[in-house]
Chain A
Amino acid sequence: MSTANTPADDHFYREYILDHYKNPRNFGRLEHPDISHEEDNPLCGDVIGMDFRIANGVIEDIRFHGRGCAISQASASLLTERLKGLPLEDAKKISKADVLGELGIQISPARIKCALLSLKVLKVGAYGLANDEDEE
């Protein structure tokens, strides 16, 4: 995916970012999720939560909820699209660079936390479940 890197960063709020912000994919809650986790960014008040349904180690269904800036919400929406149908073990391997690359825009250091909030939800949520399984 090409990234906008014009000096003025004119494409910061690209059409598809705005589209994901205004029409978030997989938005809402799951009933009886296998994993549910929420994180916030107290600095700007962004909140992202994710519900996962896992079957045979695969993310069968996913929903996210929350509120915040276009970057955090679009990032979460994009991430859920990527996660649906993905084995949980593969989901754990998704990196910061993957998420930022998917956004496809230059993110200033001040906004990195917005962009990566959904990844944090995924990581903490996914590893939390793994721990539970180990205990069983």
Chain B
Amino acid sequence: MIKTFDVAAIRKDFPIFETGIAYLDSANTSQRPRQVTAAMLEYFERFNANIHRAAYSIAEEATQRYEGTREKVRDLIHAASTREIIYTRGTTEAINLVAYAWGRKHIKRGDLIVLTLLDHHSNIVPWQILAAETGARIEYVDIDERGELRLDQFAALLKHEPRLVAFNLISNALGTVNPAAEMAAQAKAAGATVLIDGAQSTPHQPVDVGALGCDFYAFSGHKMLGPTGAGILYGRRELLEQMDPFMSGGDMIKTVRVEGTTYSDLPWKFEAGTQAIAEVIGLGAAVDYLTGLGLDAVRAHEREITEYAYEALGEIGGLTLYGPPPSRRAGVISFSLEGIHPHDLATIADRDKVCLRAGHHCAMPLMTRLGVAATARASFYIYTQRDEVDRLVSSIKEAQRIFK
């Protein structure tokens, strides 16, 4: 049996809820519990020092806490070694790191890169730039009416032996949960290197990069209770070993002579310059918080609130829901209202202190495919309660009253 947690109790760890907001934008960025900010504050106030350099004890403490997050993250995503866990600023930087350090070495003219229409711009634009530079080409896997990937088309594209296949595990715009392990296995069998964008999956469900079978896996700390500015690139060790540095400078070297430089071992080869130490320590506290709740319990709670919201929104006249049914999606619901632009709805919701996202969700190719310029989006997390969904429903009805 999956353990559960008391939502009302954990909300007390999030001081921001004292402001009275209904926060329905966690797919954008999550809120952060006191435990995370306290860990960061402790660094600033008790052992603020640079890492990997100094011999005094607070620098030792800072280094240990910074490196300690690496083991917590390794355990969270079940990587084989902490050497495969590279700190980045977030998902975007992680994918860019791969596009530069791996892509520029391995992608050649005429090579095929396979992406999907569900991808976030951060998993599209770096590959477009790489393709423009190298003369590679990109194909996108289409979606069906339910907002799920066309796996038949995916299989057909694999016959053209792509060099790289990159996709997200969960769509940030529709909440679609892609069959990532199956897709990765097929892509690997076709000889491709596989990158999975885990920005929307890591915060919300158990992740095992070995079971997923991917070569790279990227995610952000700020969507999983951590601060902004700290994210992760997981890479299979043998691939990372072959890659040259992305950024270069201090701390990523073994020796620098005027004739040349030898680089640090993994993972530090990819961590040039003074790092986001407080943020990484905060991310460690966030991982502790999530694993304390249990990722199975997190997913179960979100499933429950998503079903509740899907039903409540589905009963509203003139409201169109996008994406798959709740049993096949994560805690993200995109929708539109007849005659009311999403931005107008968001403004009206804001008057009721309901934080709702409106826009293209950094997924413009998907919006184009859906034939809309923008949608409204509600997304949920560990602290979301039914009352917040009810407040959204009230705001929608208020908007419909105003615009009738």
Residue of A nearest to B399 (CB): A13
Asked if B347 contacts A67 (CB within 8 A), the reply is no
Contact bitstring A1-41, B, C-beta under 8 A = 1, else 0: 00000001110110000100000000000000000000000
Judged by a CB distance under 8 angstroms, whether A71 is at the interface is yes
Point out the residue from A18, A42, A108 that lies within 8 Å of B347, measured CB to CB: A108
Judged by a CB distance under 8 angstroms, whether A44 is at the interface is yes
Q: Interface stretch among B156-164, B253-261, B338-346?
A: B338-346
Asked if B347 contacts A45 (CB within 8 A), the reply is no
Point out the residue from B344, B373, B403 that lies within 8 Å of A45, measured CB to CB: B373
Asked if B403 contacts A68 (CB within 8 A), the reply is no
Judged by a CB distance under 8 angstroms, whether B55 is at the interface is no
Q: Answer whether A46 and B373 are a contact pair too, CB < 8 Å, given A13-B344, A111-B347.
A: yes
Q: Contact residues of B with A, CB < 8 Å?
A: 341-344, 347-348, 350-351, 358-360, 364, 367, 372-374, 402-403
Point out the residue from A13, A69, A71 that lies within 8 Å of B402, measured CB to CB: A13
* Residue among B342, B367, B402 with most chain A CB within 10 A: B402
Contact bitstring A93-116, B, C-beta under 8 A = 1, else 0: 000000000000000100100100
Asked if A70 contacts B374 (CB within 8 A), the reply is no
Q: How far is the CA of A9 from the CA of B358 in the complex (A)?
A: 20
Q: How far is the CA of A111 from the CA of B358 in the complex (A)?
A: 12
Asked if A43 contacts B347 (CB within 8 A), the reply is no
Q: How far is the CA of A108 from the CA of B351 in the complex (A)?
A: 11
Asked if B348 contacts A13 (CB within 8 A), the reply is yes
Which of chain A's residues have a CB closer than 8 A to the CB of B341? 44, 68-70
Asked if B402 contacts A18 (CB within 8 A), the reply is yes
Which of chain B's residues have a CB closer than 8 A to the CB of A47? 373
Point out the residue from A12, A18, A111, A114 that lies within 8 Å of B351, measured CB to CB: A12
Which of chain B's residues have a CB closer than 8 A to the CB of A18? 402-403
Q: How far is the CA of A10 from the CA of B372 in the complex (A)?
A: 29
Q: How far is the CA of A38 from the CA of B359 in the complex (A)?
A: 20
Q: Contact residues of A with B, CB < 8 Å?
A: 8-10, 12-13, 18, 42-47, 67-71, 108, 111, 114
Which of chain B's residues have a CB closer than 8 A to the CB of A13? 344, 348, 402-403
Asked if A44 contacts B342 (CB within 8 A), the reply is yes
Residue of A nearest to B350 (CB): A108
Which of chain A's residues have a CB closer than 8 A to the CB of B348? 12-13
Q: How far is the CB of B120 from chain A (nearest CB, A)?
A: 15
Q: How far is the CB of A70 from chain B (nearest CB, A)?
A: 5
Which of chain A's residues have a CB closer than 8 A to the CB of B403? 13, 18, 70
Asked if A44 contacts B373 (CB within 8 A), the reply is yes
Q: Answer whether A45 and B402 are a contact pair too, CB < 8 Å, given A12-B351, A68-B341.
A: no
Residue of B nearest to A70 (CB): B344
Question: Which 6 residue pairs across A and B have the least CB separation, nearest first?
Answer: A45-B373, A69-B341, A69-B343, A45-B374, A70-B344, A69-B344
Which of chain A's residues have a CB closer than 8 A to the CB of B343? 44, 68-69, 71, 111, 114
Q: 21 interchain pairs (CB within 8 A)?
A: A13-B402, A13-B403, A18-B402, A18-B403, A42-B364, A44-B341, A44-B342, A44-B343, A44-B359, A44-B373, A45-B360, A45-B373, A45-B374, A67-B373, A68-B343, A69-B342, A71-B343, A71-B344, A111-B343, A111-B347, A114-B343
Residue of B nearest to A10 (CB): B351
Residue of A nearest to B374 (CB): A45
Q: How far is the CB of A66 from chain B (nearest CB, A)?
A: 11
Q: How far is the CA of A46 from the CA of B359 in the complex (A)?
A: 10
Q: How far is the CA of A27 from the CA of B300 in the complex (A)?
A: 50
Q: How far is the CA of A114 from the CA of B347 in the complex (A)?
A: 12
Q: How far is the CA of A75 from the CA of B372 in the complex (A)?
A: 22
Point out the residue from B350, B351, B374, B402 that lies within 8 Å of A44, measured CB to CB: B374
Which of chain A's residues have a CB closer than 8 A to the CB of B372? 45
Q: How far is the CA of A107 from the CA of B131 in the complex (A)?
A: 41
Q: How far is the CA of A10 from the CA of B342 in the complex (A)?
A: 18
Q: How far is the CA of A42 from the CA of B360 in the complex (A)?
A: 9
Q: How far is the CA of A45 from the CA of B359 in the complex (A)?
A: 8
Q: How far is the CA of A43 from the CA of B357 in the complex (A)?
A: 12
* Residue among B342, B343, B350, B374 with most chain A CB within 10 A: B343
Residue of B nearest to A13 (CB): B402
Which of chain B's residues have a CB closer than 8 A to the CB of A43? 359-360
Q: How far is the CA of A42 from the CA of B343 in the complex (A)?
A: 13
Which of chain B's residues have a CB closer than 8 A to the CB of A46? 373
Residue of B nearest to A14 (CB): B402
Q: How far is the CA of A67 from the CA of B261 in the complex (A)?
A: 56
Asked if B351 contacts A8 (CB within 8 A), the reply is yes
